[in-house]
Every structure is written in structure tokens, then in C-alpha cells.
Amino acid sequence: EAQVTQNPRYLITVTGKKLTVTCSQNMNHEYMSWYRQDPGLGLRQIYYSMNVEVTDKGDVPEGYKVSRKEKRNFPLILESPSPNQTSLYFCASSPGQGVKTQYFGPGTRLLVL
């Protein structure tokens, strides 16, 4: 089944404890992206990647890192999480290097205490 998977789906952590949210797609898509969704603010893009080894900042990149070493994986790294990073996170992928139809993962709900 063609899909985008994210792990973990739910995570509670404490301020400053490094964490990684994994994202994987099995559709051979070039484009991948991370979003966060907050009430009243909608979906905001954190980082995106047009292809392997190519990443770029979205609208809210502060406090996040990404890497794209393989086409299928695009992990999101929070080196030192803070409470304002409590949010619902979505990974998405899209065929081609330009973003067209995006296929979203199921989401990761993160709570930083």
C-alpha cells in the first residue's frame, strides 16, 4: 500500500531532551516536507526537501533540523525541544521535484513539558 508513515504517533517528552520523529514513504517521491499544525495557525511548513541531500527552510524552521540521506526517509530532529514546540506534526511527500499533490502521514502528536 502506498503510504507515508511516521513514528512515533504520540510522544511526551521534557524540555531539552533530544528527539527524532521518523518519516518514510514508499512511493519513490522526490519531494518531502514537514509541517506543524496548531489551533488558529493552520498548517505551517517547517522544512522541505526537493531530493536527496537537498533541504530548505520553510516558514518556521527555528529549533528543528532535518536530513535527507535516502529518498524514502526524511527525519525531523528536535535537538533541544521546548514547550512551544508542542504541536501536531505531519510529514508529506509529493512526486516530482516541484510540489504538486501532497500525500500526508498520519501525524505525530508531541507534548513537551
Partner 1 sequence: SQKIEQNSEALNIQEGKTATLTCNYTNYSPAYLQWYRQDPGRGPVFLLLIRENEKEKRKERLKVTFDTTLKQSLFHITASQPADSATYLCALYQGGKLIFGQGTELSVKP
Residues at the site binding partner 1, with contacts judged by CB under 8 A: 4, 33, 35, 40-45, 48, 50, 56, 58-59, 90, 92, 98-107
- Minimum Å gap between C-beta 29 and partner 1 is 13
For cell 511516521, name the residue: 6
Q: Which is nearer to partner 1, 63 or 107 (CB)?
A: 107
Q: How far is the CB of 99 from partner 1 (least distance, A)?
A: 5
Q: What cell was used for 68? A: 535527507
